[in-house]
Amino acid sequence: MEMMLLLFVLVLSIFLGFELINKVPSTLHTPLMSGANAISGITLVGAILSSGSDSSSITIVLGTVAVFLASLNVVGGYLVTNRMLRMFKKK
């Protein structure tokens, strides 16, 4: 049943995603992409749970590497998007 609930959320959020971003001016293509990329670093949540768990050491090692890569993705993604958007000004 939990699986069904997750699938339900999946389908609805995909539709939401298409509705949300269906008209993007080309000026914003790059920031939208890098901003979305930062959001995809949400996998950090899963990485943290593995890295800090009390399971086998291999889980902890894999989880820690995942935390490293995901935080790089998140921090780098948000900062670079912000840097770009600061330049997009109407004069």
Partner 1 sequence: MILEALQNNTFINLSYILASVLFIFGLKMLSSPDTAQRGNFVSSLGMLLAVVVTLLSKEIVSFQFILIGLIGGGAVGAIAALRIKMTSMPELVALLNGFGGASSLLVASAELFALTTSNLVAMIAIGIATIIGGVTFSGSLIAFGKLSEIMPGKPYLFIGQKILTGLIILLLLLLLFQFCSGIFFAEILFGFDWINEQYALILLISLSLLLGILLAIPIGGADMPVIIALLNSYSGLAACAAGFVIGNNVLIVAGSLVGASGLILTNIMCKAMNRSLLNVLFGGFGAIDSSSSSGEGKVQGDVKPINIGDSYLVLEAASTVLIVPGYGMAVSQAQHSVRELGELLQDNGCEVKYAIHPVAGRMPGHMNVLLAEANVSYDVLVEPQDVNPIMDTIDVCIVIGANDVVNPDAREDESSPIYGMPVIEVDRAKTVFVLKRSMASGFAGIQNSLFFKQNTRMLFGDAKESVSGLVSEFKS
Interface of this chain with partner 1, residues 9 to 68, rule: CB under 8 A: 9-10, 13-14, 16-18, 20-56, 58-60, 62-68
Q: How far apart are CB 31 and partner 1 at their closest, in Å?
A: 6
The tokens 């609805």 sit on which residue? 12
Contact 50, 59 (CB under 8 A): yes
77 in Cβ contact with 43 (< 8 Å): no
- Smallest distance from the beta carbon of 49 to partner 1, in angstroms? 6
Kindly state the smallest distance separating residue 77's Cβ from partner 1, in Å. 5
With beta carbons less than 8 A apart as the criterion, state whether 77 and 44 touch.
Answer: no
**According to the binding rule CB under 8 A, does residue 1 interact with partner 1?**
no
